[in-house]
Copies of this chain bind each other. A is one copy, B any other.
Amino acid sequence: MVKVDRRIIRTREAIKKAFLELMSEKNFDRITIQDIADRANINRATVYLHYLDKFDLLDKIIEEHIKNMSNICESEAELDWIESTVHCMEYLERNYLFFSTMLASEGAPYFRSRFLQFNIEEFKKDVDITKGKNLGQNADVVAQFVANAYVGVVEWWLKNGMPHPPREMAEKVGELLARIL
């Protein structure tokens, strides 16, 4: 792991924070680089040192969250389904502002499909069609099935202001998942 200059970290954090705030205030295509720089209290030119444009910025933010969730999935792989899902739900809760904005906003229609794709990949790892209840099933079909179900529930949960705590959600969803996987 290379050591990154403190200023770089700080600047990128400021940009991302500013961008997320703006995302929850106005539409994606109404946000200018100027806005972001002003909010982050940095020079406009500095934004271009780190990102090509606001699309690139959004992409990088999305990829970062996907990566983080991927890490959670990996580190929790040994735990049972419930505990694993709890950690994922808690991650979503911690980053509520981002995810709810992403799923609600018209300006970011790419996020849902990226999020779905990630979950398909993850669930594929857990599908076993060589034995058990899914013997004879098609791995893609099962993965598509559960991933869409999962994403749909998460979407509903976030859009409705997280009406149940992460653990309860994880238990309910985990139980349903266990019936499929």
Contact = CB atoms under 8 A, between A and B. Distances in A.
A84 B42 CA distance: 36
Contact of A43 (B6, B41, B42): B6
A164 interface: no
A131 interface: no
Interface residues of A, number: 5
Contacts of A43: 6
Interface in A1-55: 6, 10, 41-43
**Interface of A: prevailing SS:** loop
Contacts of A10: 41
Number of copies: 2
Nearest to A14: B10
A10 B6 CA distance: 14
A10 B13 CA distance: 14
Interface string A120-132: 0000000000000
A6 to B, nearest CB: 7
A41 B13 CA distance: 12
A121 to B, nearest CB: 35
A175 to B, nearest CB: 43
Interface in A42-92: 42-43
Contacts of A6: 41-43
Contacts of A42: 6
Interface of A: 6, 10, 41-43
Q: Which 4 A-B pairs have the closest CB atoms?
A: A10-B41, A6-B41, A6-B43, A6-B42
